[in-house]
Chains A and B, each alone.
Chain A
């Protein structure tokens, strides 16, 4: 599919911020590498879930490792696919608030679970 005869000239073919000209082949290669890392991470997650951690006395290992690997994978997606490794300030501000509110929400859930008010009254 060669559309070069009708394609607009890539004169402004820069990365998302228009500073560096984009090396297409190199960019695609880097995306493929990230894809490879994600696939490897997925295989690792499945493998980790089938290790009999109980035998080694670390029953919490599968959950911890599973979520840790997932977090690493998510970081790769966020930083490289969603370009958060070179985004503008406003985006980070929005995400900072998201983090704060998410943490606050989790904290509320934990509070609801521990139910300190009930315990304060009953004790």
Chain B
């Protein structure tokens, strides 16, 4: 059966099938993005922090807007070319459209990469230092925590895994104290004196034995509980005679229960003996000895181990211990846990007393210049808006101008460049000073959450639209020769979606980059 109205319009609606479909789809898309824009408004008016303003670089967003406008013109021209039966024109316009899509995603990736490599430290007093950290390499633990001298560690046999070992580093000598330890296993000694390679299969085997012992113990406990239940019931009855709510003792019932207990005991005796025997054997057996307790402490055979850890890799740590979420506990010493940061911006908008900000603990030399800059900014602000003479400290524009200063405005160019780019000039931020440390990912603030959510979703739309249009371009020839109007309809529908993608960006650009 042939489906009607795929090419020609249905007389009563004046539309072909796909057009009805795409408009219904676009209607649902309007609701989707509408909801997200509302969320943006909500986050912004309800934010308990200084909402970023002009923080994104406008140029890439501006170029991307141009790119999408050009692609919108070409996609509609491609459709018009098909209507006029000019296949060459159609191809050229579609190719430009796809190149625009590629350019858009390229610029977007460039922007994202810049965000992901840029970091932010928020201190307990509200001080914000943005910049680039020194990353981990073979020579340094960078912004990670180096934990060394690990001569023993413990694992929990019902929970732990060997995953923590992937953070191990080895000293390869000559400026490479943190070389990757790929593939090298560690020899350990168990409490019973057995030496073994600490591998996943070895640990799995122990865990299996531990479970076997646990299961036997629990079988025995269950069996005993069942046998003793009638006797315990009789004990309860005896106690109930002198309770707050006395119950007369039912001697006949007690006799029955005790008889039942005796018979159960006799019946279960062989099984209980067997299980007890089994458990006793576990304790004596060499193979099962290390699996009898839940926590297994292992001594490292040979050199102590070194680990380099991200904060998210473990649960908590102190000077002598690292505790992973799977209950592996390393015993050793913290070798280095400061965050080496090359700051490029100091933001004191959320600091109660900027004079005492933690920023000056790390950048004492910039303090004087910072407040000079603040006073200049204040004077300029008050000249423009004398009406705010008494309440300027509450004004968001004043705060932005006076308390959020990039490092290159606070030092001579050479010094500033070194501070922002030279790892040797990085300051070591103490972890106890910071409240938050991350790159500019969605976790940075609700602003960046919704920025990545909306631009990411829009980017997926660009990719989807480009795939569909690319399909029409590369496979369209046959359809064009047999039924050009059908291809024109397809391109029109694909184009409608593409225009919608452009339309969303027309709002995204000012909302995130400009307003």
Question: Which residues in B have some Cβ–Cβ distance to A below 8 Å?
Answer: 9, 13-15, 19-20, 23-24, 27, 30-31, 34-35, 38, 41-42, 45-46, 54, 58, 62, 65-66, 69-70, 72-73, 76-77, 80-81, 83-88, 91-92, 384-385, 397, 480-481, 484-485, 492, 495-496, 499-500, 502-503, 506-507, 509-510, 514-515
Contact: A38 with B72, CB < 8 Å?
Answer: yes
Contact: A7 with B73, CB < 8 Å?
Answer: no
| Bound-complex Cα distance A16 to B488 (A) | 9
Taken residue by residue from 1 to 39, chain A's Cβ proximity to chain B (1 for < 8 Å, 0 otherwise) reads as: 111001111101111111000101001100110110011
Contact: A49 with B499, CB < 8 Å?
Answer: no
Contact: A102 with B31, CB < 8 Å?
Answer: yes
Contact: A62 with B84, CB < 8 Å?
Answer: no
Which 10 pairs, one residue from A and one from B, show the smallest C-beta to C-beta distance?
A1-B88, A88-B14, A10-B85, A49-B514, A35-B73, A24-B84, A98-B27, A66-B510, A109-B38, A3-B87
Q: Which residue of B lies closest to A42 (CB)?
A: B65
Contact: A7 with B27, CB < 8 Å?
Answer: no
| Bound-complex Cα distance A35 to B9 (A) | 29
| Bound-complex Cα distance A14 to B88 (A) | 19
Contact: A62 with B514, CB < 8 Å?
Answer: yes
Residues of A within 8 A of B506 (CB): 38, 70, 73-74, 77
Contact: A90 with B13, CB < 8 Å?
Answer: yes
Q: In the complex where A15-B83, A98-B27 touch, is A31 in contact with B88 (Cβ < 8 A)?
A: no
| Bound-complex Cα distance A89 to B500 (A) | 20
Q: List 16 A-B contacts (CB under 8 A).
A: A1-B88, A8-B484, A9-B85, A10-B85, A24-B84, A34-B73, A35-B69, A38-B69, A38-B506, A67-B507, A90-B13, A91-B23, A95-B27, A106-B34, A106-B38, A112-B42
Residues of B within 8 A of A94 (CB): 23-24, 27
Choose one: A8, A54, A63, A98; the contact of B85 (CB below 8 Å).
A8
Q: In the complex where A42-B62, A62-B515 touch, is A14 in contact with B31 (Cβ < 8 A)?
A: no
Residues of B within 8 A of A90 (CB): 13-15, 20, 23
Contact: A22 with B502, CB < 8 Å?
Answer: no
| Bound-complex Cα distance A28 to B46 (A) | 46
Q: In the complex where A31-B76, A35-B72, A94-B27 touch, is A78 in contact with B384 (Cβ < 8 A)?
A: no
Taken residue by residue from 52 to 73, chain A's Cβ proximity to chain B (1 for < 8 Å, 0 otherwise) reads as: 1011000000110011011001
Contact: A13 with B14, CB < 8 Å?
Answer: no
| Bound-complex Cα distance A14 to B87 (A) | 16
Choose one: A8, A38, A105; the contact of B38 (CB below 8 Å).
A105
Residues of A within 8 A of B31 (CB): 98, 101-102, 105
Question: Which residues in A have some Cβ–Cβ distance to B below 8 Å?
Answer: 1-3, 6-10, 12-18, 22, 24, 27-28, 31-32, 34-35, 38-39, 42, 45-46, 49, 52, 54-55, 62-63, 66-67, 69-70, 73-74, 77-78, 81-82, 88-91, 94-95, 97-98, 101-102, 105-106, 109, 112-113
Residues of B within 8 A of A34 (CB): 73
Q: In the complex where A16-B492, A31-B77 touch, is A105 in contact with B34 (Cβ < 8 A)?
A: yes
| Bound-complex Cα distance A31 to B89 (A) | 14
Residues of A within 8 A of B46 (CB): 113
Contact: B514 with A81, CB < 8 Å?
Answer: no
Choose one: A32, A38, A52; the contact of B384 (CB below 8 Å).
A52
Residues of B within 8 A of A109 (CB): 38, 41-42
Q: Which residue of B lies closest to A28 (CB)?
A: B77
Contact: A22 with B384, CB < 8 Å?
Answer: no
Q: In the complex where A24-B84, A54-B384 touch, is A45 in contact with B509 (Cβ < 8 A)?
A: yes
Q: How far is the CB of B397 from chain A (nearest CB, A)?
A: 6
Q: How far is the CB of A46 from chain B (nearest CB, A)?
A: 6
Q: Which residue of A lies closest to B488 (CB)?
A: A16
Q: In the complex where A35-B73, A62-B514 touch, is A54 in contact with B24 (Cβ < 8 A)?
A: no
Contact: B76 with A81, CB < 8 Å?
Answer: yes
Choose one: A10, A63, A73; the contact of B515 (CB below 8 Å).
A63
Q: Which residue of B lies closest to A109 (CB)?
A: B38
| Bound-complex Cα distance A81 to B80 (A) | 11
Contact: A66 with B80, CB < 8 Å?
Answer: no
Q: In the complex where A49-B515, A67-B510 touch, is A24 in contact with B80 (Cβ < 8 A)?
A: yes
| Bound-complex Cα distance A7 to B480 (A) | 8
Contact: B515 with A113, CB < 8 Å?
Answer: no
Q: How far is the CB of A19 from chain B (nearest CB, A)?
A: 11
Q: Which residue of A lies closest to B397 (CB)?
A: A54
| Bound-complex Cα distance A94 to B197 (A) | 68
Contact: A3 with B72, CB < 8 Å?
Answer: no
Q: Which residue of B lies closest to A2 (CB)?
A: B88
Q: How far is the CB of A24 from chain B (nearest CB, A)?
A: 4
Q: How far is the CB of A27 from chain B (nearest CB, A)?
A: 5
Residues of B within 8 A of A102 (CB): 30-31, 34
Contact: B13 with A89, CB < 8 Å?
Answer: yes
| Bound-complex Cα distance A102 to B45 (A) | 20
Q: Which residue of B lies closest to A91 (CB)?
A: B23
Q: How far is the CB of A11 from chain B (nearest CB, A)?
A: 9
Residues of B within 8 A of A69 (CB): 510
Of B30, B69, B91, B509, which is in contact with the most chain A CB atoms at under 10 Å from its CB?
B69
